């Protein structure tokens, strides 16, 4: 089975897309350890200093995501990529709160590279994930809501083999089913980029995620090479 792939239509519209994937089994999630919490706080301080007064829209990785959102009809100032949302919170409110070990690992690496990093709980994902344009009849359940809604026709979504949506507007919002929780043991981590140096940044981010998973949650991890078409074993 595939773990993560782009539809031909996505590749035709977004030829620069790079996706890196890690599949990890047997991980131990929970309250973020003090050492990771300290590293996360230090990373946030370093990122704030590095960005300074620079507008987030001027960062190459975020500018590329804004362009990608516009290309499928979404206003990127109304619906921001996950990476921009994190950095916006950091620069506007001063910090990003700790959630749990897996989420904090993903968020730490996301702000470091300005890339969306999704940590998906595989327990409620049937088969692999395909990134494609929505037909509009797929089902999505938002975090904190029991109501199922439909994506807009033409927006980019993640779906599994049952056509359940696990991310809307590409990297704007994850589903309730795929969120990492304390009981999570089997995860898929996706890291994506559209900018010119995207492949290099995705590969570096993958290496950082792998190291952090090994250090803090254990389990067995399989890295999949960055690819514009599909994730294949390294």
Domain with residue 12: its CATH number is 3.50.40
Number of structural domains the chain divides into: 1
Q: Give domain status of residue 202, yes or no.
A: yes
> In this predicted structure, what is the pLDDT of residue 162?
96
Q: Give domain status of residue 35, yes or no.
A: yes
> In this predicted structure, what is the pLDDT of residue 227?
52
> In this predicted structure, what is the pLDDT of residue 143?
81
> In this predicted structure, what is the pLDDT of residue 2?
75
Q: Give domain status of residue 159, yes or no.
A: no
> In this predicted structure, what is the pLDDT of residue 1?
54
For the chain, give the DSSP string: --SEEE-HHHHHH-TT-EEEEEEEES----SPPHHHHHHHHHHHHHHHHHHTT--GGGSHHHHHHHHHHHHTT--TTTS--HHHHHHHHHHHHS------HHHHHHHHHHHHHT--EEEEEGGG--S-EEEEE--S--BEEBTT---EE-PPTT-EEEE-TT-BEEEETTTTEEBTTTS--TT--EEEEEEEE-STTHHHHHHHHHHHHHHHHHHHT-SEEEEEEEESSB--B-
Q: Give domain status of residue 214, yes or no.
A: yes
Q: Give domain status of residue 34, yes or no.
A: yes
Write out the residue range of the structural domain in which residue 181 sits.
Answer: 4-130+170-227
Each residue's pLDDT expressed in tens, for the chain with a length of 234 residues: 578 999 999 999 999 999 999 999 999 999 999 999 999 999 999 999 999 999 999 999 999 999 999 999 999 999 999 999 999 999 999 999 999 999 999 999 999 999 999 999 999 999 999 999 999 999 999 987 768 899 999 999 999 999 999 999 999 999 999 999 999 999 999 999 999 999 999 999 999 999 999 999 998 888 775 454 444 333
Q: Give domain status of residue 135, yes or no.
A: no
């Amino acid at each position: 089975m595939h773990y993560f792939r782009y539809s031909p239509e996505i590749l035709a519209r977004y030829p620069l897309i790079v996706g890196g994937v890690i599949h990890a089994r047997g991980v131990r999630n929970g309250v973020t350890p003090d050492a990771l919490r300290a590293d996360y706080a230090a990373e946030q301080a370093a990122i704030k200093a590095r960005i300074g007064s620079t507008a987030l829209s001027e960062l190459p990785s975020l500018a590329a995501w804004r362009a990608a959102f516009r290309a499928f009809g979404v206003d990127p100032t109304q619906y921001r990529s996950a990476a921009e949302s994190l950095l916006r919170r950091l620069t506007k409110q001063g910090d990003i709160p700790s959630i749990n070990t897996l989420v904090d690992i993903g968020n730490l690496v996301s702000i470091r590279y300005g890339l969306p990093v999704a940590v998906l709980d595989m327990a409620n994902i049937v088969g692999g994930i395909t990134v494609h344009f929505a037909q509009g009849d797929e089902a999505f359940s938002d975090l904190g809501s029991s109501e199922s809604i439909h994506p807009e026709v033409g927006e980019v979504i993640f779906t599994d083999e049952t056509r359940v949506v696990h991310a809307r507007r590409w990297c704007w919002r994850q589903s309730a089913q795929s969120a990492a929780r304390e009981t999570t043991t089997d995860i898929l981590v996706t890291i994506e980029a559209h900018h010119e140096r995207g492949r290099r940044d995705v590969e570096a981010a993958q290496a950082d995620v792998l190291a952090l998973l090994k250090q803090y949650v254990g389990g067995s991890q399989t890295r999949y090479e960055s690819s514009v078409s599909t994730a294949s074993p390294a």
